[in-house]
Amino acid sequence: MNAPTVRVLYIDDEENNLHAFKAGFRRQYEIYTAISAVEGLKILENVAIHVIIADQKMPQTTGVEFFKSITNTFPDPVRILLTGYTDIEALADAINHGDIYRYITKPWNDLELHNSIKNAYDAYKAKIDLRNKVIELEKTNDELNRFIYSISHELRAPLVSAMGVINLVKMEGLYESCGEYWSLMETCSNRLDYYIQKTLQYYKNNKTISEHTNIDFSTLVPDLIELYSYSDKETHFNVDIKQDVPFYGDSFRIEVILGNLISNAIKYQKTEETHKKVGISILVKKENAELTISDNGIGILNEHLEKIFTQFFKSKTNHGSGLGLFIVKEALNKIHGKISVSSDPLEGTTFKIKIPNVK
Amino acid sequence: MLSKPRKVMLIDDNEVDLKINSKIITISKLFDEIIVCKSGEDGLSYLSEHTDDPNNLPDFILLDIQMPEMDGFEFLEIYKNFPDPVKEKCIIAILSSTLDFGDIKKAEANPLVIKLLRKPLFPKELEELLRKYFIL
């Protein structure tokens, strides 16, 4: 690999210094020299310079003045100030206003100056690389946003049409007409839809900035129950909401959290249980809301309790996606909420949540 | 409460969904007649044509959100300017597969929209909604 060409501009009013510099460094760098600030500016306008070295003591414009004058027009080249005397004020000024990377005393030591130029170039490169990365990331982010939006529309719309056809098949009494093929199709479509929905939830949780709105749990909870219990009419819901004070929070994430827990409570029930129960109690206080969601379902094995919030954790017996509780936890992290769980295969599972009231 | 609804208008650019939803409505016998519109423009021109002819106006409109050229929200912006008797007669619900939080909030906030129904359309869900506004 060839070493990159480093373009160095050296500005000094003493011709001898310019010669000495050129002689000493022309093998390592592409050297441009200028006898004054005006000359230096001309070069900057025509050549993409990486490192600028300027002498402080020059008749018309000092090194610091020159650096100051180009802060907006040429912000990228890294600046090194050469000075023959120790002028603290000039130095302070240089550091504060001229964006100086190094200062080197005259007469310079070749090795020291060489190292400084090398480091300055590295700094230049890091600065440019970072900027390119930011541009690249912004572009990727933008594409990802559009991709996610298209998942939520273009990718899901035909799937939902297919689910509509399956409904029609049921309505026309053809569901059993092909053995179990229609029910297999239905299971697959539902699973695909579930994954699309969870992927979107996860993504939106990561992206969306918290917006705080007034949340009325006594309307939110029945809405969520209606949404998730649609295909299940056997479960009995016991809802107890005490909200005497207004609650402000992130309604999107709270819906995601409650929605996932309610849908889990409905989904993981004992098939033989005749009194399927889900209890939801919410107590809203000035400082927080305490939510409890309990069920008499299949429960969670003790050794699994610690792992249920990790991504793609699935137990052998329950064919979940390994995403629901992971998303719950992620969403809670974003709004500084807490969750705890207790479970028993005989009694069922209870999740307790605390969400801060932000107003 | 309004008397038993007779006509429903479906506005959707997706022909598969138009076919599926027409069929679901036919089988569920919730309406006697279906006015099928392949775009918001189609729907608007039907409504302006029959503005003074309440017998031919739909009692209920199922409106999709995602459509090329004129989307559901743009349709509502224009529909807003129809005379009150039309708006009182034609009740609108959105029927969409959207999961976009912004779209959902926007639909729920629109005073002309009574509900956001999600595709696929379930006849039971539609019936429950209609019962709140009509004597079936």
Q: Which domain holds residue B78?
A: 7-131
| pLDDT for position A4 | 75
What's residue B26's pLDDT? 94
Say which of B24, B99, B125 has its CB closest to residue A171: B24
Q: Residue B114 falls within a domain, yes or no?
A: yes
pLDDT tens digit string along A294-310?
999 988 888 888 888 88
Assigned domain for B44 exists: yes
Q: Is residue A75 part of a domain?
A: yes
- Where is the domain boundary, A108, A134, A152? A108
Residue B76 lies in a domain: yes
Query: What pLDDT shows up at residue A83?
Result: 84
Instruction: Look up residue B89 and give its two tokens.
Output: 């007669």
A180 inside domain = no
pLDDT at A168: 93
Does B1 map to a domain? no
The percent of residues in chain B predicted with pLDDT above 70, rounded, is: 100
Pairing outcome for strands A277-284 and A288-295: antiparallel
Q: Which of A47, A82, A108 is the last residue of a domain?
A: A108
Q: What is chain A's mean pLDDT, rounded?
A: 89
pLDDT at A231: 67
Peptide bond into A158 cis (omega under 30): no
CA-CA distance, A67 to A248, in Å (whole number)? 51
pTM (global) more than 0.90 = no
Cβ within 8 Å of residue A138, ≥6 positions away? none
Neighbours of B89 (CB within 10 A): 16
Residue A251, domain member (yes or no)? yes
At residue A12, the 3 state secondary structure works out as: coil
- Percent residues over pLDDT 90 in chain A: 58
CA–CA gap between residue A240 and residue A292 (Å, rounded): 10
B24 contacts in A (CB within 8 Å)? 164, 167-168, 171
Report the distance separating Cα A102 and Cα B127, nearest Å: 77
Question: Any idea of the CA torsion for B13, B15, B21, B23, to the nearest 10 degrees?
Answer: 150
The predicted-structure confidence for A179-209, as pLDDT tens digits, reads as follows 999 999 998 898 888 888 888 888 888 777 7
CA-atom Rg of chain A in angstroms: 34
DSSP designation for B114: E
A70 domain-assigned: yes
| Number of structural domains found in chain A | 2
Contacts with A197 from chain B: Cβ below 8 Å: 99
User: In CATH, what number is assigned to the domain containing residue A83?
Assistant: 3.40.50.2300
pLDDT (0 to 100) of residue A307 = 85
CATH of the domain at B78: 3.40.50.2300
Q: For residue A151, give Cα distances in angstroms to A42, A60, A83, A193.
A: 52, 63, 61, 11
- Please indicate if any CB of chain A lies within 8 Å of the CB of B54: no
The interface predicted TM-score (ipTM) is 0.83
Q: What is the mean pLDDT of residues A216-232?
A: 85
Q: A147 or A171, which is more confident?
A: A171
Nearest CB to A167 within list B66, B100, B120? B120
- Rounded Cα–Cα distance for residues A154 and A205 (Å): 21
- B100 at A interface, C-beta within 8 A: yes
3-state secondary structure A153-202: HHHHHHHHHHHHHHHHHHHCCCCCCCCCHHHHHHHHHHHHHHHHHHHHHH
Is B2 inside any structural domain? no
Angle at A220 between CA A253 and CA A207, to 5 degrees: 15
Q: Give the span between the Cα atoms of A66 and A45, in whole angstroms.
A: 14
Q: Mean pLDDT over residues B49-59, rounded?
A: 93
CATH number of the domain within which A305 lies: 3.30.565.10
Does residue A131 form part of some domain? Answer: no
Q: Of A226, A359, A357, A334, which is closest to residue A285 (Cα–Cα)? A: A357
- Segment among A8-12, A216-220, A298-302 with least mean pLDDT: A298-302
Domain membership of residue B52 (yes or no) is yes
pLDDT higher than threshold 50 for residue A1: no
Q: Which range marks the domain in which residue A301 is found?
A: 211-356
A146: in domain: no
In a domain, B95, yes or no: yes
Q: Tell me, yes or no, whether A87 and A215 share the same domain.
A: no
Asked if B121 reaches chain A (Cβ–Cβ under 8 Å), the answer is: yes
Token duo for residue A268: 């993981």
Give the pLDDT band (50/70/90) at residue A86: low
Is A124 domain-assigned?
no
Token reading at A146 = 């559009």
What are the DSSP calls for B30-78, one per residue?
A: --SEEEEESSHHHHHHHHHHTTT-GGGS-SEEEE-S--SSS-HHHHHHH
Answer whether residue A246 shows pLDDT above 50. yes
| Angstrom distances, CA of residue A294 to CA of A240, A297, A325, A347, B4 | 12, 9, 15, 10, 42
B121 found inside a domain: yes
User: How many angstroms separate the CA atoms of B130 and A88, rounded?
Assistant: 83
Q: Which of A226-240, A285-299, B2-16, B45-59 has the lowest mean pLDDT?
A: A226-240
A171 and B121 in contact by Cβ < 8 A?
A: no
Chain A residues lying within 8 Å of B120, measured CB to CB: 160-161, 163-164, 166-167
The pair of three-digit structure tokens given for residue A215, joined into one six-digit string: 């949340």
Q: CB–CB of A201/A256 below 8 Å? A: yes
Q: What is the DSSP letter of A147?
A: H
CA distance A327 to A338: 13
Mean pLDDT of chain B: 93
Per-residue confidence at A331, pLDDT binned at 50, 70, 90? very high
In a domain, A172, yes or no: no
At A149-181, the pLDDT tens digits run 777 778 889 999 999 999 999 999 999 998 999
